Amino acid sequence: MSEQTIAQRLEALGIVLPIASEPAAKYANFVKVNGLLYVSGKGPSGSPRGKLGKDYSTQEGYEFARLTGIEILAVLQSAVGSLSRIKQVVKLQGFVNAVPEFEEHHKVLNGCSDLMLDVFGENGVHARSVFGAVSLRDNLPIIVDSIFEFVE
């Protein structure tokens, strides 16, 4: 997919990519191995804090997951220089900070999944898994780590 097409999609979505956030501890933002780009766990911009099912609704969680996807896109751009070098979204893995009774983790992670499809089209189709967490760093509502195939 050409950069112009991706740029047009981002513009149509009203997205201006931020500068990639820095890691929260002693690890790399991303690692490149054999044409795959592994992005470390990212949370939503603005650092909201709290649990789904207590502090936030499923819809709010969806929006947090979308914001997390934007953070991931910023890391991708910093890693490979141009989002047009992303060949495939391979996998998203979400961790949702939720109360034990919460059962809509999959609907929350859709916020990130939908964004990847909107930005990358058919190359945004991916495998994924999502887990409920009793707690996450900084009490973030969601963290997503991800894997992408890129043009070396």
Average pLDDT of the residues in 55-63? 98
Domain extent listing, the chain: 3-16+28-150
User: Is 105:96 a contact under the CB 8 Å cutoff?
Assistant: yes
The pLDDT value recorded for residue 86 is 96
* Count of residues in the chain: 152
Is beta strand 127-133 parallel, antiparallel or unpaired with respect to 36-42? Answer: unpaired
pLDDT of 5 over the 90 cut: no
**How far from 150 is each of 52, 58, 80, CA to CA, in Å?**
33, 32, 8
The pLDDT value recorded for residue 72 is 98
pLDDT of 110 over the 90 cut: yes
Edge-to-edge strand ranges of the sheet holding 86-97: 30-33, 36-42, 142-150, 86-97, 127-133
pLDDT of 81 over the 80 cut: yes
pLDDT of 23 over the 80 cut: yes
pTM exceeding the 0.85 threshold for the entire prediction: yes
Give 40's pLDDT tier (boundaries 50, 70, 90).
very high
pLDDT of 4 over the 80 cut: no
Under DSSP, the state recorded for 129 is E
The pLDDT value recorded for residue 55 is 98
pLDDT of 1 over the 80 cut: no
The pLDDT value recorded for residue 46 is 87
CATH number of the domain at 3-16+28-150, please?
3.30.1330.40
The pLDDT value recorded for residue 3 is 59
Mean per-residue pLDDT of the chain: 95
Cβ-Cβ contacts under 8 Å for 59 (sequence gap 6 or more): none
pLDDT of 47 over the 90 cut: no
